[in-house]
Structure 1
């Protein structure tokens, strides 16, 4: 998660929330993409999870601050992240110690790849001497929830207390999953709606391509992407496929109305987090928050609230693709390239919509429900996800060719799609490859994944 916002500008009316989204519109020449990825730290010697301290996350953050010059993000006199004061990315901690890079907005998949490689090199240089490695899986493969460390972030304490009240798997989501996502721009309200609809409909396709979480607590869990399955029973008030986005009249106002009624987690005033779980932002906007009577809403309240809504695609001042398990390093720019090819070429975007436009809300939901277990073998309207993914990959490839963003060697961005092409050709996700290894040369020893899938 990104660090909390601190803009205390008051908000007095719903129209100001709509205007906040409208300010996210970019021109065609300003379109950027930002990649984010999480990863599990572990002690190499015994494959145990890494606590905040001693000799753990705190030490990594201190080392990275010294190595990169990034500024620590402090809470209660200890660092909980870092940010680049020159406008670059940020590093943050997920609840169970998952180490996240929130990358800078960048113009090409080439730049995202370079940023990813530099970050991984920095992390290895700092964590290696501490005996710490990082695991590229969508779910921690052997640790129980009780064995998983808890990071000292107050917002997570509020979430941890609330999650069991609204779903059975929310704590697993918080402490035992890792994702990769890419954030993309829109040029207008109509462009946002078109991209939101395409990406919501096709998000299960990306989920299948990136499926990489087949293990839980030392054995097979029965899913290709358990991380995606966990989201089906985390908190349905704030997650899902947003069927209203496909209805007539969809726009910024409609999303504002949705977000106003999503239950809040907290309101931050100064350094204090006030637990307001169950209340709506509508209550805060009208000064009627039971826990903080008379308190007025601010821009930072709105931005922080939006960051606690978890649909498959999330609208902020950009669109966040949230459906994918994290994987090996090449899969990070692969996700960015996949969506950039579709979003940043009007022909590709129109053709992608042609694939999905006749799917009903029930069909989209069933596809999303089936993919965690079936991945490429799931179907919609008689077509397999594998076949649809092949077509969508071709659209993305064509879009990237037309974008013609070249690196110093004259290569375009299509090179980053190669890992996805390989998955389609082999008809085998990362998860299925790991399941095969588990059932053959690993002889049922999940611990072998710490060698096979470490960065």
Structure 2
């Protein structure tokens, strides 16, 4: 989850909220790629969870990273909870269970994104190894119970932890035990945003299948290929899902604002203090009649923070966030942005992707979303298996990256980053299925080897 916004400018009306989103429109030559990924820390000895406190804890890791890269500490009171690159725009933050997240800087190419990921993982390892822990590239913690999982000292997470069990069965699993890789991409206009949002939503289950990598819970197979994706089906359905309204006539910034206004709030932040307003209405805050803040008006920060607590399959802020993929191996952290950049940042590819999905009904899209966590490539939509559909999607992305023709210092274009996906498609199996096969054979039905084989 991104760093909380700080902008105390008051928001006067719904129109201000719409204008704030619309200000995200950029000229295509200014489009950037922002990649985020989370990873699970574990002790090298015993494969146990890593607490926040202590000589060998997450705090020590953050302090070590600060000494190494000199990024600015992000503090909550006296507690370090992250690091910010004030020059490049990247940040390191903590998810509720200690999952360590890099929110990458907005970069011009996948080459730069992959260099950033590589440099970050090398730095993390340099600091973490002497502290006695490593990091897993998976979509879900494979071994520990919720009770065994540590809790990070962030005020917003305390509020969410209390609220989640009231609105779904899997909210705490989502918070404490899952990891994702996602990419943030730009739009040039309202029309461009809507088309990208629709293609992103329709094809998000295909990305879920391609990156499915969370088949274990508490030491055993959980019956799913992407249990992380299944968890989202019952986390908090008032703020998650496939946004069927996005495909209706009249979709635009205003329609998304109306949706977001109806999503219950979690918190309001004033200074370092989080005020628990879970379940209440942003409309009341906008009107200056919120019971927790009588007479106070909403600020730009309140709106930006509220938008960051909405979790649909594609999230609209001043950019679009593709949210369907499990965390995974090093190469997949570059493959995910390559896939969506190839699909959305080339006009012909975006048109081809839209042609692929435009005939699907809301019911078909939802059925695909429901089936993919368990079936992945074997799920079907409109009579087509996802494996076949995913081959088309990756081929469209490849053509888009070819046409972008952004070269690295060795003259290579960005298509090479799709390699791991093309290997999966050729084999006809997801990363999760490869892990399950290892579990049943070489690993002798134990998840312990995963801490060697899936560590960064």
Q: What TM-score, normalized by structure 1, do the two folds share?
A: 1.00
CA distance in 2, matches of 1:447, 1:180: 23
Residues 104-123 of structure 1: pairs in structure 2 closer than 5 A: 104-123=105-124
**Equivalent residues in 2 for 1:59-70, closer than 5 Å:** 59-70=60-71
Q: Spell out, residue by residue over 1:262-290, the C-alpha distance to the aligned partner (whole angstroms, 9 max, x if none).
A: 00000001111110011111110001112
Q: Which moved more, 1:248-257 or 1:84-93?
A: 84-93
**1:270 paired residue number:** 271
Question: Following TM superposition, by how much is the alpha carbon of 1:78 offset from its aligned partner in structure 2, in angstroms?
Answer: 1.5
Partner of 2:230: 229
Q: List per-residue Cα deviations over 1:276-312 (Å, max 9, x = no partner).
A: 0111111100011122211110000000000000000
Structure 2 counterparts to residues 17-416 of structure 1, below 5 A? 17-54=17-54, 55-416=56-417
Distance in structure 2 (CA, Å) of the matches to 1:196 and 1:414: 23
Q: Does 1:438 align with 2:434?
A: no
| CA offset digits 1:416-454 (Å, max 9, x no partner) | 000000000001111000000111111111111111100
| Alpha-carbon distance in 2 for matches of 1:30, 1:331 | 25
Q: Mean alpha-carbon deviation: is it higher for 184-193 or for 437-446?
A: 437-446
Deviations 1:369-413 (A, max 9, x none): 000000011000110111000001111000100000000000000
Greater mean deviation of Cα atoms: 287-296 or 146-155: 287-296
Aligned counterparts of 1:302 and 1:114: Cα–Cα separation in 2:
33
1:131-186 Cα deviation digits (max 9, x unpaired): 11000010000000000000000100000000000001000000000000000000
Partner of residue 15, structure 1: 15
Cα distance in 1 between the residues matched to 2:68 and 2:275 = 35
Q: CA deviation at 1:76?
A: 2.3
Q: How far apart in 2 are the matches of 1:454 and 1:372?
A: 23
* Displacement of 1:88: 2.6
The 2-side partners of 1:253 and 1:330 are apart by 38
How far apart are the structure 2 equivalents of 1:153 and 1:78? 9
Q: How many correspondences in the alignment?
A: 455
Q: How far off its partner does 1:223 sit?
A: 0.1
**Partner-residue secondary structure (3-state), 2:106:** coil
Alignment gaps of 5+ in structure 1 = none
Deviations 1:193-237 (A, max 9, x none): 000000000000000000000000000000000000000000000
Deviations 1:342-370 (A, max 9, x none): 11100000000000000000000000000
Cα distance in 2 for partners of 1:58, 1:64 equals 10
Please give the alpha-carbon distance, in whole angstroms, between the structure 2 residues aligned to 1:88 and 1:329.
Answer: 22
TM-score by length of 2: 0.99
Within 1, Cα distance between the matches of 2:139 and 2:22?
33
Residue by residue over 1:105-148, the C-alpha shift from the partner in whole angstroms, topping out at 9 and shown as x without a partner, is: 00000000000000000000000101110000100000000000
Give every structure 1 segment of 4 or more consecutive aligned residues whose post-TM-superposition deviation is greater than 6 Å.
none
CA RMSD of aligned residues (A): 0.5
Offset at 1:87?
A: 3.1
Measured against aligned partners, the alpha-carbon deviations of 1:220-263 in whole angstroms (never above 9, x if no partner) come to 00000000000000000000000000000000000000000100
SS of structure 1 residue aligned to 2:354: helix
CA distance in 2, matches of 1:144, 1:382: 39
- Whole-angstrom distance in 2 between the partners of 1:418 and 1:435: 22
For residues 199 and 325 of structure 1, what CA distance do their matches in structure 2 show? 16
The 3-state SS of whatever aligns with 2:448 is helix
Uncovered stretches (5+) of structure 2, i.e. residues with no partner:
none
CA distance in 2 between partners of 1:444 and 1:279 (Å): 46
- Residue 21 of structure 1 aligns to a residue in which SS? helix
Secondary structure, counterpart of 2:330 in structure 1: coil
Q: What SS does the aligned partner of 1:36 have? A: strand
* 374-383 or 79-88: bigger deviation: 79-88
**2:199 and 2:88 mapped to 1: Cα distance?**
30
